Structure 1
Amino acid sequence: MQSEQMPAQPEGNDGSQESGQNSQDIEDFIYLISHDVRSSVRALLELPNWISEDLEEAGFPVQGQVAASIELMNRHTSRLDRMLVDLLTYSRIGRMQSVQTLSLDDALDQVLEEIDLPTGFVVTRDLKALEVTMGNRDILTLLSALISNAFRHHDKTWGKIHVAARMDGADVVLSVSDDGPGIDEEFRERVFGAMITLRPRDEVEGSGMGLANVRKIANLYKGSASVVPSVYGRGCSIEVRIS
Structure 2
Amino acid sequence: MIPAKDILHGHDARWLMNCAGDAMLVVGADGGILLANPAAVRLFGYSLAEFSGLLVEDLIPPRFRDSHGEKRADFAHHPEFRRMGSGLELYCLRKDGGEFATDVSISPFEDGHVLVTVYDISDRKQLEEEQKRMIHELEAVNEELRNFAYVVSHDLKAPLRAIGSLADWIAADQQERLDADGQEHLRLLIQRVRRMDALIDGVLRYSRIGRVHEAVSAIDLNELARDVIDSLAPPPDIVVSVAPDLPTVRAEKTCIYQVLQNLLSNAIRYLDKPAGRIDIACVELADCWQLSVADNGPGIAPRHFERIFQLFQTLHPRDRVESTGVGLSIVKKIVEQSGGRVWLESELGQGSTFYFSVPKISLNL
| CA distances 1:85-133 after superposition (whole Å, capped 9, x unpaired) | 2222212323434132222112112211211422211111126241222
Write out aligned runs for 1:83-122 (5 A): 83-98=199-214, 99-122=216-239
Confirm or deny: 8 A CA contact 1:121 1:158 kept in the other structure. Answer: yes
Q: Which residue of 2 aligns with 1:48?
A: 167
1 CA distance for matches of 2:178 and 2:346? 50
Q: 1:163 aligns to what SS in structure 2?
A: strand
1 CA distance for matches of 2:218 and 2:242? 20
Paired amino acid for 2:251: M
Write out aligned runs for 1:122-201 (5 A): 122-126=239-243, 128-201=245-318
Bigger Rg over Cα:
2
1 CA distance for matches of 2:277 and 2:186? 36
Paired amino acid for 2:149: I
Paired amino acid for 1:151: I
Which of 326, 331, 342 is equivalent to 1:225?
A: 342
Confirm or deny: 8 A CA contact 1:104 1:130 kept in the other structure. Answer: yes
Q: Which residue of 1 aligns with 2:92?
A: none
2 CA distance for matches of 1:21 and 1:206? 31
Change over 3 Å in CA distance of 1:178–1:16 after alignment to 2: farther
* Offset at residue 24 of structure 1 (A): 4.6
Confirm or deny: 8 A CA contact 2:300 2:346 kept in the other structure. Answer: no
Q: TM-score, normalised by structure 1?
A: 0.82
Change over 3 Å in CA distance of 1:63–1:152 after alignment to 2: same
Q: Percent identity?
A: 30
Confirm or deny: 8 A CA contact 2:273 2:296 kept in the other structure. Answer: no
Q: Which residue of 2 aligns with 1:66?
A: 182
1 CA distance for matches of 2:190 and 2:321? 16
147-156 or 128-137, which moves further after superposition?
128-137
Q: Which residue of 1 aligns with 2:77?
A: none
Which of 57, 70, 79 is equivalent to 2:195?
A: 79
Q: Which residue of 2 aligns with 1:22?
A: 141
* Offset at residue 33 of structure 1 (A): 2.1
* Offset at residue 43 of structure 1 (A): 2.0
Change over 3 Å in CA distance of 1:65–1:181 after alignment to 2: closer
Write out aligned runs for 1:8-19 (5 A): 14=132, 19=138
Paired amino acid for 2:157: R
2 CA distance for matches of 1:108 and 1:84? 26
Q: 1:212 aligns to what SS in structure 2?
A: helix
1 CA distance for matches of 2:137 and 2:286? 33
Q: Name stretches of at least 5 consecutive residues in structure 1 with no aligned partner.
A: 1-12
148-157 or 219-228, which moves further after superposition?
148-157
2 CA distance for matches of 1:37 and 1:145? 24
Confirm or deny: 8 A CA contact 2:301 2:346 kept in the other structure. Answer: no
2 CA distance for matches of 1:44 and 1:137? 31
Q: TM-score, normalised by structure 2?
A: 0.56
2 CA distance for matches of 1:223 and 1:215? 9
Q: 2:177 aligns to what SS in structure 1?
A: coil
Paired amino acid for 2:289: V
1 CA distance for matches of 2:244 and 2:206? 26
Change over 3 Å in CA distance of 1:24–1:138 after alignment to 2: farther
Q: Which residue of 2 aligns with 1:209?
A: 326
Q: 1:240 aligns to what SS in structure 2?
A: strand
Confirm or deny: 8 A CA contact 1:44 1:77 kept in the other structure. Answer: yes
Paired amino acid for 2:255: D
1 CA distance for matches of 2:136 and 2:221? 32
74-83 or 127-136, which moves further after superposition?
127-136
Confirm or deny: 8 A CA contact 1:218 1:224 kept in the other structure. Answer: yes
Q: Which residue of 1 aligns with 2:99?
A: none
| CA distances 1:167-198 after superposition (whole Å, capped 9, x unpaired) | 21121211101111211111111111111111
Change over 3 Å in CA distance of 1:81–1:91 after alignment to 2: same
Change over 3 Å in CA distance of 1:118–1:48 after alignment to 2: same
* Offset at residue 234 of structure 1 (A): 2.3
2 CA distance for matches of 1:80 and 1:25? 22
Confirm or deny: 8 A CA contact 1:101 1:132 kept in the other structure. Answer: yes
